[in-house]
Structure 1
Amino acid sequence: MPSPTQKALAKVPGPLRPFLVQHRSLVKFLLVGGTCFVLTLAINYALRFSICQSKPVVALTIATALATVVSYLLNRQWSFRSEGSHKEAIPFIVVSALAVGVNDLPLLASRYLFNLREPHVSHFTQEISDFLAGMILGTLVAMAFRYWAMKKFVFTTQRADEELQDATAEPVGPRH
């Protein structure tokens, strides 16, 4: 009986399969990250247009922290397939706290170092710079940091038998 991974790989064009198999944890990490990015974006702007109107860094910090909880659950169960123990919880919290700070740094610099805020710039320029610095640049830098730190310090014990099984399984689907 083919696994769900094997079924999904059968639908991928042949030349991409080796790349996806070789980098499957990165691909899964990026899918989880994309989902959490959308969640962060939604929470951030919900807060910015309601209770955190004058506190964009606070809104981004809260949004990132909430999305981090979702990220932990998804990465633990799917991306890195950690074994059943919760020994990675404390390193995850430390890495995530550092990553929230890394994520906030570009927005802090944009707002308070480069003064890209009202009254120094127009409201439109402020919003564009906040989005580019906080949501785009901050997320990209924090994502690279998280991926490296999660593999290095948090999810260090993957189920070797499942990894080996996925990598060596017979491809499902029509053979050419």
Structure 2
Amino acid sequence: MTVVESVLSHTPEPLRSVLIKHRELLKFGIVGGTTFVVDNGVWYILKLGVLEPKPTTAKAIAIIVATIVSYILNREWSFRTRGGRERHHEAALFFVISGLAVVINLIPLYLSRYALHLEVPHVNRWVQEIADFVSGSIIGMLLAMAFRFWGFKKWVFPDELGRRRRDATVTPLHPVDTSHE
């Protein structure tokens, strides 16, 4: 039994049905949470260190690192029953969608810093850091995450290509009793 199936077996029934129905979204969300930590860890290390004067560049590098982690986790876990393309084609599509998502993610941070001037010396350091976090790590990431989920399901890991794989690998949460047959 996988970790997800173990957790689902201990979840109350009304919620369990919803989670099973949206299993890919749940897994995608867990991968998103993991990459959120990776993204922000790398971003703050860079932005408070060697890239202090270039927060948008630091964020872009952090997003790229998190995107690589995301590809591995999404391919091998979230969407493992989908796809079916050659790996290089799938990876190329994944990184094109993710590249567009990087732009979407950076827009709120860029607007916060350079259009709204929420940066030192116009505001104090505390306001700048809160504005950076809200715009870059919450608003930008949520917009990019919604775009990625849609793009991954539509183009990178389309369901119609993964039917054979899914049929061969999916095991039911509760095995069917076939002893009476």
In the other structure, the counterpart of 2:11 is: 12
Structure 2 SS opposite 1:88: helix
State the AA in 1 paired with 2:174. E
For residue 129 of structure 1, report the CA deviation from its aligned partner. 0.6
1:127 equivalent among 118, 126, 129: 129
In the other structure, the counterpart of 2:120 is: 118
TM-score (norm 1): 0.88
TM-score (norm 2): 0.86
Structure 1 SS opposite 2:11: coil
Query: Does structure 2 retain, via aligned residues, the 8 Å contact 1:91–1:154?
Result: yes
- Give aligned pairs, total: 168
In the other structure, the counterpart of 2:70 is: 71
Quick one: percent identity of the two aligned structures?
46
Residues 7 and 127 (structure 1), Cα distance of their counterparts in 2 relative to 1, 3 Å cut: closer
Gaps of 5+ in 1: none
Structure 1 SS opposite 2:63: helix
State the AA in 2 paired with 1:77. E
In the other structure, the counterpart of 2:179 is: none
State the AA in 2 paired with 1:170. H
In the other structure, the counterpart of 1:136 is: 138
In the other structure, the counterpart of 1:147 is: 149
**What does the per-residue CA deviation read over 1:114-146, in whole Å, with 9 as the maximum and x for residues that have no partner?**
111111111111111111101111111101111
Question: How many angstroms apart in 1 are the aligned matches of 2:84 and 2:134?
Answer: 37
Higher relative contact order (CA 8 A, sep 6+): 1
For residue 169 of structure 1, report the CA deviation from its aligned partner. 4.5
State the AA in 1 paired with 2:79. F
In the other structure, the counterpart of 1:34 is: 33
Question: How many angstroms apart in 2 are the aligned matches of 1:45 and 1:59?
Answer: 8
Query: Does structure 2 retain, via aligned residues, the 8 Å contact 1:32–1:74?
Result: yes
For residue 9 of structure 1, report the CA deviation from its aligned partner. 2.2
In the other structure, the counterpart of 1:161 is: 167
For residue 56 of structure 1, report the CA deviation from its aligned partner. 0.4
Question: How many angstroms apart in 2 are the aligned matches of 1:169 and 1:11?
Answer: 12
For residue 75 of structure 1, report the CA deviation from its aligned partner. 0.2
In the other structure, the counterpart of 1:98 is: 100
For residue 94 of structure 1, report the CA deviation from its aligned partner. 0.6
What's the Cα RMSD here?
Answer: 1.9
State the AA in 2 paired with 1:50. G
Gaps of 5+ in 2: 177-181
